[in-house]
């Protein structure tokens, strides 16, 4: 889908004013956040599978066990796992299918891998390619048990969720990863997953990702993700690819056909619900800050053409609402989930206010804007030297991945745009009456030590307008 077509689609949904802002931001090279500058310089790497696997094969297509020069020495991992990669397939382009196969087989240098393909296609095109590939692999890998390819031909196409469930039923691994039939993993994806698992017993892991053209020659729109952030996840499925989950958890949850198109989002939300709200194990979720997944964009893909699957965005909206009710225990009349100007991004509105519905929210904050630009914003974390989010961005711009327009949890708030909940307003007043002089930083520390959170709210000024709030520092 061309940029012109996307712009016309955006115009129809959001009007002339918002479209002008959107176009201006795309063309503006001066008012960028630091992360946008990093993304603009991104080039990616084609070193993902095709060249890699060719290096792995000696004459006669026999798999060579000696790692190629470009691959780092295999470390001595203390923990050993089998990884199952699930791929629901449907009339996959042969070239794309072969590249996907290559990218998974390349993981065997670092991990025990089984690839499970559930084929719902009408023709035998996928089956022929997979069987030929499997035969070549068996002949070349010698006495080793892995990698393994498991192929299942589905009797009928029951939709993406049920097709993936068919693959899930065959998985024997300790951890399960999800891969679309025309995408690829970077050759060392499971190396980095194993490296992370050496640090802790994580149940849900995710990495950064990028997009590529149909030929896997140009890489763009890298998605540099934050560490786990619940409210940002309620705004959009930022976790997405590459997702790896403990097999026991994924098999317990499975995929729900009612959420086809947003089935991965629904799965992630329910997994997070199990870990956070039923087990209180936030530390079981890990982010790998490295691009490990190339999401191929071609004319029929949702990545390239967001209008092609509008039903998926409706399914995502319902998945968020289900999470809010089922795991957060918020009644239907207390929360509303709505679409934003950007397809696939959502807004959760709480009634009568977020403070009354979510008692763990200590304060909400916005951006400090002077002369039409953001001079101070919130920060993901308290790491020394980290720049506040949205610094330098024009007030009308949405920022990197539209983050300036999304609700999210933050660790640090800007001093000039904060609204504390009533509990903390009273607490701070009592402490000051006792002679304690509290700095803004000390107030934030007190709230964090109490286990409460801060929310960045994009329409902050609208929410606090005409509402009394005695502590606004």
Picking from 135, 129, 242, 112, the residue whose alpha carbon sits closest to that of residue 184 is 242
Ordered DSSP codes for 199-221: T---SEEEEEEEEE-TTS--EEE
Question: Tokens 């192929």 appear where?
Answer: 151
Cβ atoms < 10 Å from Cβ of 300: 13
Q: For residues 204 and 246, is the Cβ–Cβ distance under 8 A? A: yes
140 Cβ contact list (under 8 Å, min separation 6): 57, 61, 62, 63
d(Cα 440, Cα 343) in Å, to the nearest integer?
37
DSSP letter string, 285-309:
EEEEEEEEEEEE--TTSTTT-GGGG
DSSP 63: B
Q: Which residues contact 179 (CB under 8 A, 6 or more apart)?
A: 85, 86, 87, 100, 104, 185, 241, 242, 293
Element (H, E) at 264: helix 263-273
177 by DSSP, 3-state: which? Answer: strand
62: Cβ contacts below 8 Å, ≥ 6 apart: 139, 140
* Exposed/middle/buried for residue 33 (C-beta within 10 Å: 0-12, 13-18, 19+): buried
Note the pLDDT of residue 251: 98
Q: Among positive and negative, which fits the CA dihedral 98, 104, 109, 114? A: negative
- Using CA of residue 237, residue 342, residue 87, residue 318, what is the dihedral sign? positive
pLDDT in tens, the chain (473 residues): 455 566 566 555 656 666 565 655 666 667 778 888 888 888 887 655 544 444 444 333 333 333 344 455 566 899 999 999 999 999 999 999 999 998 898 888 889 999 999 999 999 999 999 998 888 877 766 556 788 999 999 999 999 999 999 999 999 999 999 999 999 998 889 999 999 999 999 999 999 999 999 888 888 999 999 999 999 999 999 999 999 999 999 999 999 999 999 999 999 999 999 999 999 899 999 999 999 999 998 655 555 555 557 889 999 999 999 999 999 999 999 999 999 988 899 999 999 999 999 999 999 999 999 988 999 999 998 876 677 899 888 888 899 999 999 999 999 999 999 999 999 999 999 999 998 889 999 999 999 999 999 999 999 988 887 565 544 44
Sign of CA dihedral 303, 306, 307, 309: positive
User: Residue 179 has what pLDDT?
Assistant: 97
Quick one: tokens of 219? 């890489």
Strand pairing report for 453-456 and 361-365: parallel
Per-residue DSSP letter, 5: H
- The structure's pTM equals 0.89
Sole residue written with tokens 């002339």: 16
Are the C-beta atoms of 185 and 86 separated by less than 8 Å? no
Please check whether residue 388 is in contact with residue 449, taking contact to mean a CB–CB distance below 8 angstroms.
Answer: no
Q: How many CB atoms lie within 10 A of CB 256?
A: 18
Length of the chain in terms of residues written: 473
The label of the residue with tokens 């939709």 reads 159
């Amino acid at each position: 889908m061309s940029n012109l077509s996307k712009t016309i689609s955006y115009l129809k949904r959001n009007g002339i004013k918002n479209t002008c802002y959107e176009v201006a931001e795309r063309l503006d090279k001066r008012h960028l956040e630091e992360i946008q500058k990093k993304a603009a310089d991104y080039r990616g790497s084609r070193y993902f599978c095709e060249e890699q696997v060719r290096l792995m094969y000696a004459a006669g297509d026999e798999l060579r066990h000696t790692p190629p020069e470009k691959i780092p020495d295999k470390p001595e991992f203390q923990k050993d796992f089998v990884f199952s990669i699930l791929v629901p397939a449907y009339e996959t382009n042969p070239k794309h299918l072969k590249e996907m196969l290559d990218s998974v087989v390349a993981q065997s240098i670092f991990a025990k891998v089984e690839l499970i393909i559930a084929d719902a296609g009408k023709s035998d095109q996928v089956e022929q390619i997979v069987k030929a590939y499997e035969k070549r692999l068996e002949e070349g890998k010698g006495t080793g048990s892995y990698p393994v390819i498991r192929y299942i031909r589905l009797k009928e196409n029951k939709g993406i969720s049920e097709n993936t469930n068919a693959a899930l039923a065959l998985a024997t691994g300790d951890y399960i990863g999800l891969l679309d039939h025309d995408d690829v993993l970077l050759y060392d994806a499971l190396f980095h997953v194993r490296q992370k698992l050496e640090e802790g017993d994580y149940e849900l892991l995710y990495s950064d990702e990028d997009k590529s053209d149909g030929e896997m020659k140009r890489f763009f729109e890298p998605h540099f993700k934050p560490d786990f952030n619940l409210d940002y996840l309620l705004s959009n499925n930022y976790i997405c690819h590459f997702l790896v989950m403990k097999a026991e958890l994924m098999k317990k949850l499975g995929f729900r056909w009612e959420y086809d198109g947003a089935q991965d989002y629904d799965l992630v939300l329910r997994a997070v619900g199990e870990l956070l709200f039923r087990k209180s194990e936030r530390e079981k979720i890990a982010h790998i800050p490295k691009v490990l997944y190339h999401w191929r964009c071609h004319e029929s893909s949702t990545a390239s053409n967001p209008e092609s699957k509008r039903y998926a965005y409706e399914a995502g909206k319902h998945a968020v609402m289900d999470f809010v009710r089922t795991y957060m225990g918020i009644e239907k009349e207390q929360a509303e989930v709505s679409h934003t100007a950007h397809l696939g991004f959502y807004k959760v509105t709480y009634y009568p206010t977020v403070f009354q519905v979510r008692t763990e929210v200590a304060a909400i904050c916005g951006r400090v804007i002077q002369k039409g630009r953001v001079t101070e914003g919130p920060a993901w974390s308290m790491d020394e030297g980290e720049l506040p989010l949205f610094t330098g961005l024009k007030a009308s711009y949405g920022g990197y991945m539209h983050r300036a327009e999304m609700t999210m949890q933050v660790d640090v708030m800007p001093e000039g745009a904060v609204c504390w909940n009533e509990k903390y307003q009273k607490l701070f007043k009592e402490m000051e009456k006792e002679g304690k002089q509290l700095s803004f930083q000390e107030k934030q520390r007190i709230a964090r030590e109490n286990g409460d959170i801060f929310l960045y709210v994009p329409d902050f000024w609208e929410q606090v307008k005409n509402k009394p709030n005695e502590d606004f520092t």
